[in-house]
Amino acid sequence: MAAKSYPYIPNSVAEVQEEMLRFIGVGSIEDLIADIPEEVRMKEPMELPEPFEDEAGIYRHVSGIMNKNSTAEELRCFLGAGCYNRYVPAVVDEVINRSEFLTAYAGEPYEDHGRFHALFEYQSMMAELLDFDVCNVPNYDGSQACGTALRMATRITKRKEVLIPRNLNPDVLKVVETYLQPDVKITYVNYNDKTGRICLDSLKACLTDKAAAVLVMNPNFFGIIEDKAQEIADMAHKAGALMVAYVEPSTLGVLTPPSRYGADIACGDIQPLGIHMNYGGGVAGFVATSEKPEIIEEYPSRLFGIAPTSEGEWGFGDVLWERTSFANRDSAKEFVGTHSALWGIAAGVYLASMGPQGMKELGEAILQRQVCLKKVLSKIKGVKLDRFSGTSFEEIVVDFSGTGKTVKEINEKLLEKGILGGFDLGKCFPGLEGCSLLCVTEQTTAEDIKAIADALSEIIG
């Protein structure tokens, strides 16, 4: 019998337990689990630290640990590489922290009408941003979305090979490799060493009638716009393959949406649309396509649809439930489960609060800072910005190889001055040793840019 009271366990009170046991007709809780055999029982209690039973104590303990972090808000952040230090409007946090959303799970379209409605709107707004007709309820992250988009392509084309460019985000690539193993073959397409874009000759050499999909990341991992995307799509289509575009959705107020350069499937991560970075936990994936039934049939994800009710209201529910692994465990299209619905609601609130004009201005604000950063850094002796000739959007490749210092050394010195330097490209890309990927967001200020320029001048000497 519990000797103490637990705020989260109302029936830990001894008298209540006795009353319930009497009703059941047994003498103790132990009697209820008598069938768990001795051989699988724990012989000793779990060896856990002494708990912080009161709320003030646990708050002090955990925040004490977390205070050891230095955040991107406290430092000047020039890190991107798939996770972006965007401003998250307060309305987004307000909505997703409402406990009706936060603590709900899988309620029905009646008592949990709200989440169906909000996620239908999310799908609708994402479709407009991407200029497609269909978007899914979010999956785990952009990496899984990419893996799913490629697997969808294999099912649609009934082919088993996908072409992946080497200028894809290496973190995404690692997850996609795991996700596609063992039955989907990956062929890697080189990037052009001068432009940083996909090498069309390499693509041509790899592309056969075995290919289900050609993947394009746009802007690619080097931050460079794949401006030959339409040609790539045409080549893919000619070979009977689909073109899959991995896009950063917050660029699409300014950049052409993927459907307009021939993409059949768009995928990516919605973190830049109003989701806090959370040490990489604030990620969620999207897949978007046209409305062809043969394509929709291949989504593994939940797809919420709109329907009439008997009283003329907007009702919602699951479209083509039978596709999913919930309905069909051993013949499903991949699988579905608890993914990232709350982040989908967040991105919906973000897109609605930004509106058409806001998304355009966001893109312009980012582009302006990138141009500004490049201008300022170009004045520093030894720093080269022409490693790749392709056009940048929110991230730039900065080549320190002529400075005699490694990116690691430079980043350590920058950190001493309160600056989070860029992603060390040499770690993942042979031939790019000494190159750093620097990122701006709309939160980057002129002071930040001046600070990193001053710091680099001093470090490089």
- The residues in 332-391 that bind other proteins, with binding defined as CB under 8 A, are 332, 334-343, 345, 349, 351-362, 364-365, 367-369, 371-372, 375-376, 391
Contact 273, 249 (CB under 8 A): yes
Q: Tell whether residue 32 is a contact of other proteins (CB under 8 A).
A: yes
Taking CB under 8 A as the criterion, the residue among 186, 320, 428, 460 binding other proteins is: 320
Scanning residues 183 to 242, which ones bind other proteins (CB under 8 A)?
183, 225, 227, 229-230
The residue (of 91 and 205) whose beta carbon lies closer to other proteins is: 91
The residue (of 209 and 412) whose beta carbon lies closer to other proteins is: 412
> Least distance in Å: CB of 280 to other proteins?
3
**Euclidean distance between CA atoms 457 and 461, whole angstroms:** 6
Contact 289, 130 (CB under 8 A): no
The residue (of 121 and 209) whose beta carbon lies closer to other proteins is: 121
> Least distance in Å: CB of 427 to other proteins?
10
In the block, tokens 């925040």 appear at 63
Taking CB under 8 A as the criterion, the residue among 186, 200, 319, 460 binding other proteins is: 319
State how far the alpha carbon of 57 is from the alpha carbons of 63, 194, 260, in Å.
10, 57, 56
Number of CB atoms found within 10 A of residue 286's CB: 32
- Burial degree of 348 (CB within 10 A; 0-12, 13-18, 19+): buried
Q: For strand 242-247 and strand 185-189, is the pairing parallel, antiparallel, or unpaired?
A: unpaired
> Least distance in Å: CB of 394 to other proteins?
12
Q: Tell whether residue 409 is a contact of other proteins (CB under 8 A).
A: no
Q: How many residues of this chain interact with other proteins, rule: CB under 8 A? A: 219
Q: What is the DSSP letter of 242?
A: E
Long-range contacts of 289-295 (CB under 8 A, 24+ apart): 289/132, 289/133, 289/134, 289/152, 289/264, 289/265, 290/132, 290/133, 290/134, 290/259, 290/264, 291/133, 291/134, 294/156, 295/134, 295/152, 295/156, 295/264, 295/265
Taking CB under 8 A as the criterion, the residue among 152, 153, 168, 172 binding other proteins is: 172
Contact 157, 210 (CB under 8 A): no
* Contact code string over 34-73 relative to other proteins, x by CB under 8 A: xxxx-xxxx--xxxxxxxxx-x--xx-xxx-xxxxxxxxx
Taking CB under 8 A as the criterion, the residue among 194, 205, 238, 309 binding other proteins is: 309
Q: Tell whether residue 428 is a contact of other proteins (CB under 8 A).
A: no
- Burial degree of 410 (CB within 10 A; 0-12, 13-18, 19+): buried
Give the range of 3-11, 239-247, 381-389, 398-406 binding other proteins by CB under 8 A.
3-11
Scanning residues 130 to 169, which ones bind other proteins (CB under 8 A)?
131, 133-135, 137-138, 140-144, 151
Taking CB under 8 A as the criterion, the residue among 238, 404, 409, 446 binding other proteins is: 446
Taking CB under 8 A as the criterion, the residue among 186, 195, 305, 401 binding other proteins is: 305
Taking CB under 8 A as the criterion, the residue among 81, 216, 232, 396 binding other proteins is: 81
The residue (of 123 and 403) whose beta carbon lies closer to other proteins is: 123
Cα 405 off chain centre by: 32
The residue (of 70 and 402) whose beta carbon lies closer to other proteins is: 70
Q: For strand 265-269 and strand 419-420, is the pairing parallel, antiparallel, or unpaired?
A: unpaired
**Euclidean distance between CA atoms 454 and 441, whole angstroms:** 19
Scanning residues 279 to 298, which ones bind other proteins (CB under 8 A)?
279-284, 291, 293, 296
Long-range contacts of 65-73 (CB under 8 A, 24+ apart): 72/277, 72/420
> Least distance in Å: CB of 399 to other proteins?
19
